[in-house]
Structures are given as C-alpha cells and as structure tokens.
Structure 1
Amino acid sequence: MLLAGGEAREIVVDGSGMIMGRLASVVAKLLLAGWRVNVVNAEKIVLSGDPRMVVESYRTTVLGVKSHFSHKWRPKRPRTPQRLFKHAVRGMLPKNKARGRRALARLRVYVGVPDELKGREFVRFPEADASRLSSHYIELGAVARQLGWKGGVEK
C-alpha cells in the first residue's frame, strides 16, 4: 500500500526490551491497517514472569506433544525467536481469513539487524516497553536456546 506521497507504508520496530504480548498486539493492529512491519532484534524481546515458569510452559508446549510413531509426525512447533514472535502475532490475527493471511505475509522478523535495515530509523512503542515490569522477565533468545535453538541467523 502506498501513502499519498507515493511512499510505501513500512515501519521498522526495534524489539529489544519490549514485552512480547504487548508488542505483538501493536504489530498485529499495524498489519491489519495495511502496514509492512519489520521487527529487528527479536532475540531481545522479553517475556514477563518467572523465567523458570516461562521456559517450562514453552517446553511443555513445544516439546510436550509427541507421536507414538516417529518424530517426523510431530507437529512442527516454533523454536527460534523469529518464529516464536511471529506465532504470537499470528494468534492475534483473524483465523482462516484471507485478510489475516495477507497481514501475516507483510510481517518480517529478524534476529539482530540485517544489512538492508541498518540505516533506517527504528520505532519503539512506550506501551510495550519492559521498563513497566517490576521484576521477573526473560528474553526470547534465552527461551529459544533452552528449546534447542542454536543461536544462528535463520534463513
């Protein structure tokens, strides 16, 4: 989609130090409004709560579903920070509708900052800032590492 001046409606969001659920809801609203959203530093997005409980809940969700036959038949669950965040945003978009699928296609999530976005201005949302948290939180990269992510950049 284009603005009146002919420029694309694109935004680059810095995910470092942002609360995952709040950031995901803001990103979902932008996607439904027609914006292209690039989220950088996905490994630095934080999840609120006791770190052990957060990791345990993700571990039961990701690793808990097993098949009696083979690992090939298990549901594929996200383990990387990019996919964990994208999965959270996907849960906030309309299910089984073309509008939701088109919105999700406009989302790009990156670990770190890719070269093509290095010179761009990053946006931060104060309502999603982790400084609101009074105590316990864990970064998404740490959760992903405990789920089996090797820490590299996904292609």
Structure 2
Amino acid sequence: MTGLTNRTVVIDGRGHLLGRLASVVAKYLLQGGKVAVVRCEELNLSGHFYRNKIKFLAYLRKRCNVNPARGPFHFRAPSRIFYKAVRGMIPHKTKRGQAALARLRVFDGIPSPYDKRRRVVVPIALRVLTLRSDRKYCQVGRLSHEVGWHYQDVIKSLERKRKSKLRITLKHNREMKKLTAKARENIAKAAEPFNKIIKSYGYES
C-alpha cells in the first residue's frame, strides 16, 4: 500500500490473515491514509479452529474482578475483532493515534456504498501466499459465531442478495457492450468519409 491519497482505500478482507493485514493497515493509517476493510467475517487465523477457540475463550474470561462493567470489553463481531487488532498496533491514547483510528472503517459483509467501489487485496497478508499449504487455519466469522456473535446468518443472507444483484448488473453490462459493438459496426461504413476528414486534421476517431 504505497502512495497516499485522499480517497478511501477499500480492502476486501476475504482470505487475508488477520494479524498481517492489521499491521499493514495500522502503518498506512499512521501515515495519514484512509482505509475501509470489508468482509471481515472471511478473514483467516492461522492455527486449528479448536486451538483458536480455546485462546478466545481464555480472553473472554479476563475481566475486572471488582466491577466487570469497567472492562476489558470483549468484542464478538469479526469487524470489531479486527478493529481491536489494529488498535493494539497504534498508540491510540495519543492525538495522533486517535486521528489514525478515526480514518479506519470496518464492516461485516460489503455494505453500500462500498459494494460499488473497487476493492483491493494486500498480497503480503494473503493466506495462500504466506501460510504453508499444509498448515491449519480457520475463519474469524465461524469463531465469532461460536463465541456469541448472532449475525452470521444475516450477513450470509445479505451477501447472497448482493451477489445475485451483481450477476444481473454484469449480465446487463455484457449485453450493452455487445449492442454498442454491433452499433459501431452498423455505422462504420456511413461514418468512413467523416473519419477520413477527422484523420486529415491529425485526430484519431
């Protein structure tokens, strides 16, 4: 992620390792960039699912003995788990760290308007490129679901609707492309004398 821009960089979290992606995002935020991470439920964790679940359950047991309402607060949603991972890599109690975190957006699924935006990946954080093929891994969405996140089915339903709508849009675009190409062929002969005049002035039609 080189080169800063005022535009928000939209990262598709699918297939990324959580910690590796968090480190890249944290550094980019501290440099002044804006980031939105979508599909956090499809982030991956290295290690067997059962091992990660035991670690998470141990984390849930950590609390203030006098008054648990004081914290620590345990996020269950995949997007909030990723947010907390990024927060741990940023000096979030300083003005600079708070400003950096304010430039971060995290989402489960792909809500509007990010479903219409171009999404990118971070190669150094992709599981298929960084984790050995025989190593165990698990999805954050499944882990969250088993420790108290109640919206897995809702997100799956919304994703199905988004994908079906996308298929219709792509089909429409392909048809329009064919019709445009056919129309160009139909007018090519009629437009030929005009194109010659345009080319004589040094312009390409």
Contact 1:9 1:34 in 2 (8 A): no
Q: Which residue of 1 aligns with 2:101?
A: 104
The superposition leaves residues 126-152 of structure 1 with CA deviations (integer Å, 9 ceiling, x where unpaired) of 100010322211111111111100025
The TM-score normalised by the length of structure 2 is 0.66
Contact 2:92 2:101 in 1 (8 A): no
Give 1:94 shift: 1.6
Give 5+ residue unaligned stretches, structure 2: 156-205
The reply on whether 1:127 has 2:124 as its aligned counterpart is yes
**Higher relative contact order (Cα pairs below 8 Å, separated by 6+ residues):** 1
Change (3 A) 1:32 1:72: closer
Q: Percent identity at matched positions?
A: 38
Q: How many residues align?
A: 148
* In 1: Cα distance, 2:35 partner to 2:88 partner: 16
Q: How does 1:39-50 map to 2 (within 5 A)?
A: 39-50=37-48
Instruction: Report which of the two has the higher share of helix.
Output: 2
Counterpart AA for 1:20: L
Give 1:8 shift: 2.2
Please tell me the root mean square deviation across aligned C-alpha atoms, in Å.
2.1
Counterpart AA for 1:145: H
The reply on whether 1:78 has 2:80 as its aligned counterpart is no
Give 1:67 shift: 5.7
* Structure 1 SS opposite 2:109: coil
Contact 2:48 2:136 in 1 (8 A): yes
Give 5+ residue unaligned stretches, structure 1: none
Change (3 A) 1:92 1:74: closer
* In 2: Cα distance, 1:66 partner to 1:22 partner: 27
* In 2: Cα distance, 1:106 partner to 1:119 partner: 20
For the pair shown, the structure with the greater C-alpha radius of gyration is 2
The TM-score normalised by the length of structure 1 is 0.86
Give 1:75 shift: 2.9
Q: Which residue of 1 aligns with 2:23?
A: 25
Q: Which residue of 1 aligns with 2:139?
A: 139
